[in-house]
Structure 1
Amino acid sequence: MVKNTILQLLKLGYPLFQKLLPYQVYTYLATGALNTALNIGIFMLCYQLFNTSMIAVEAATAIALLLTILSGYWLQMNFVFTESGSDKKRRAGQLTKYALVAIQGQLSAYLLTKTMIIVLHLNASCAYILTTVFMLTVNYFLQKYFTFKKAKRLS
């Protein structure tokens, strides 16, 4: 039911972007936006639960990242890179690769943003926006050609 609802919403929104983006890029951005909103919601909820703790931000960030790695993988597997294969062994490897790309993306985005602020003296918001666009592009290709690459067929 959830999968079908998300699919219908994606199909409903695509005509607005059809002239700008291929369907796969559109679904990548749309499911990424959904997963980002989920990440923020989980972070805010966890932060409120842990706000008396010295490690509230760290705990909320870790929990939100873990849960949205799982939801992001599910979203991309079911709506973006659907042609990548479906056997359980392959899916386990894909989840591991997805997690590595996601964690790399978080770390790279942090380091790139800090570098732009410190070295290039960019405004923090500008640096964050530039980093986000760059990392979205890099992560799309990593997910497409590393995590969810099409299975080779035996002749």
Structure 2
Amino acid sequence: MKQLHARIRTLILGFIDAFYPLFKKLMPLQTFRYAACGGFNVALDISIFTLVNNYIVHVLKQDVVQIGPFPMTPHIAALFVAFGVSFPVGFYLSRYVVWQQTATSKRVQLARYFLVVVICLLMNYALLKLFVDHFGWYPTISKVIITVVVTTFSYLSQRHFSFSERSFIRKKID
């Protein structure tokens, strides 16, 4: 398993780093890797959201989707399905491709990452409800607009909290 992980990581880094010379003057390598991995994960998230919202739920012709005991609108169900895929992919890419130089344990990073992602999920949920249910905007366009706002928050949070050596929650006592 470790060999497979090392091979996947090497392939991803090789692919991303091959494009870095084009952007070297614009940003540091770590920021470029975050943009590439984050861009992939956002594209994956929006693709799954669109597929579930526009095709799967549409084909089933349901106005309410039941996930476990929770009834929800199709766009909210699509949000949670997309989250179920993009969360583990995003953590893997963040941990092993973007923020590799850290001594913080995987467990701590996962807990911090999960906290930030849950906040992002709540932001997505609230803004989707506002844009789609109250303003009447199209769900996929709303999701793209929301992604811009949430991505900015996510980058800053992941950089300064999830994968940081020093957490702003823990203060050093001198």
> TM-score, structure 2 length as denominator?
0.65
Unmatched tracts of structure 2, length 5 or more: 1-6, 67-73, 168-174
Q: 1:149, 1:8 → 2: CA distance?
A: 24
- Aligned-pair RMSD on alpha carbons? 3.6
Equivalent in the alignment of 2:12: 6
How many aligned positions are there? 144
Pairing 1:100-139 to 2, within 5 Å after superposition: 100-108=115-123, 111=126, 129=145, 132-139=147-154
Moved over 6 A (4+): 112-116, 123-126
> Mean Cα displacement is larger for which, 57-66 or 131-140?
131-140
- Structure 1 residue aligned with 2:99, among 67, 81, 93? 81
Pair 1:37-2:49 in alignment? no
**1:150, 1:20 → 2: CA distance?**
25
Q: For the structure 1 residues 80 and 67, does the alpha-carbon distance in structure 2 shift closer, same or farther, using more than 3 Å as the test? A: same
> Partner of 2:27: helix, strand, or coil?
coil
Q: Which has the higher helix share?
A: 1
- 1:142 pairs, out of 157, 160, 163, with 157
Specify whether residues 110 and 37 from structure 1 end up closer, same or farther in structure 2 by C-alpha distance, changes over 3 A only: same
**In 1: Cα distance, 2:113 partner to 2:127 partner:** 20
Q: TM-score, normalised by structure 1?
A: 0.71
Matches of 2:80 and 2:30, distance apart in 1: 29
Unaligned runs of 5+ in 1: none
d(CA) in 1 for partners of 2:87 and 2:32?
20
Deviations 1:37-87 (A, max 9, x none): 22234332686279525317343321220221111011011111111226x
Tell me whether 95-104 or 134-143 shows the greater mean CA deviation.
134-143
Q: CA deviation at 1:13?
A: 0.8
AA at the equivalent of 1:25: T
